[in-house]
Copies of this chain bind each other. A is one copy, B any other.
Amino acid sequence: MNILFIMYDQLRFDYLSCAGHPSLKTPNFDRVAARGVRFTQAHVQSPICGASRMSFYTGRYTSSHGAQWNGYPLRVGEMTMGDHLRKLGMGCYLIGKTHMIADAEGMDRLGLSPDTVIGARQSECGFDAIIRDDGLWGEGPDGFYDQKRSPYNEYLKEKGYPSENPWADFANAGISDDEIASGWFFMNADKPANIREEDSETPWLTDRTLEFLAQADEPFCAHISYIKPHWPYIVPAPYHDMFGPADVPPATRSDSERDNPHPVYGAFMSNNIGKSFSRDEVREKVIPAYMGLIKQCDDQLGRILDHLEATGAIDNTMIVLTSDHGDYLGDHWLGEKDLFHQQSVKIPLIIADPRTEADATRGTTCDALVEAIDLTATFIQAAGGDVPDHIVEGRSLHPFLFGETPGNWREVAISEYDYSVTKMRDMLGVKSRDARLFMVFDGRWKMIHAEGGFRPMLFDLETDPEEFNDLGDDPAYQNQIDRLYDHLHAWALRMSQRVTRSEAQLERMRTRAAKVGILPFLYDGSEVPEALTARYRGKAPADYTKD
Binding site for B on A (CB under 8 A): 63-68, 71-77, 79, 83, 103, 105-106, 109-112, 116, 118, 122, 136, 138-145, 161, 165, 168-170, 173, 175-182, 184-187, 192-197, 231-232, 236-237, 272-273, 275-277, 279, 281-282, 335-336, 418, 420-423, 432-433, 436, 438, 451, 485, 488-489, 492-501, 503, 506, 509-510, 512-525, 527, 531-547
Question: A231 to B520, Cβ gap below 8 A?
Answer: yes
Q: Is the CB of B196 within 8 A of A547?
A: yes
Chain B hits for A282, CB < 8 A: 523
| Contact residues in B for A192 (Cβ distance below 8 Å) | 545
The residue from B169, B497, B513, B524 contacting A66, defined by CB atoms under 8 A apart: B497
With contact pairs A498-B72, A536-B182 given, residues A276 and B527 touching in the complex (Cβ less than 8 Å): yes
Instruction: Report which of B122, B142, B527 forms a contact with A516, defined as CB distance below 8 A.
Output: B142
Q: Report the bound CA distance from A194 to B275 in whole Å.
A: 82
Contact A545 B195 (CB under 8 A): yes
Q: Identify 10 residue pairs between A and B in the complex whose beta-carbon atoms are under 8 Å apart, listed by A's number.
A: A106-B500, A140-B532, A141-B531, A145-B516, A168-B535, A175-B543, A273-B521, A276-B527, A436-B493, A492-B493
Distance in Å from the Cβ of A270 to the closest Cβ of chain B?
12
Is there an interface contact between A500 and B141, defined as CB atoms closer than 8 Å? no
Smallest beta-carbon distance A272→chain B, Å: 4
Q: Report Cα–Cα, A521/B494, bound state, in Å.
A: 38
Known contacts A184-B520, A518-B145, A545-B194; A536 and B168 CB within 8 A of each other: yes
When distances are taken between beta carbons in the complex, the residues of chain B under 8 Å from A67 are 500
How far is A186 from B276 in the complex, measured between Cα atoms in Å? 77
Contact call A187/B74, Cβ cutoff below 8 A? no
Cα A427 to Cα B108 in complex, Å, equals 46
Do A516 and B143 have beta carbons less than 8 Å apart?
A: yes
A512–chain B nearest beta-carbon distance, Å: 7
Contact yes or no, B194 A543, CB < 8 A: yes
Would you call A495 and B541 a contact (CB within 8 A)?
no
Instruction: Give Cα A161–Cα B182 distance, bound, in whole angstroms.
Output: 84
> When the two chains form their complex, are residues B545 and A175 in contact, meaning their CB atoms are under 8 A apart?
yes
- Chain B nearest CB from A478 CB (Å) reads 14
Q: Do B521 and A335 have beta carbons less than 8 Å apart?
A: yes
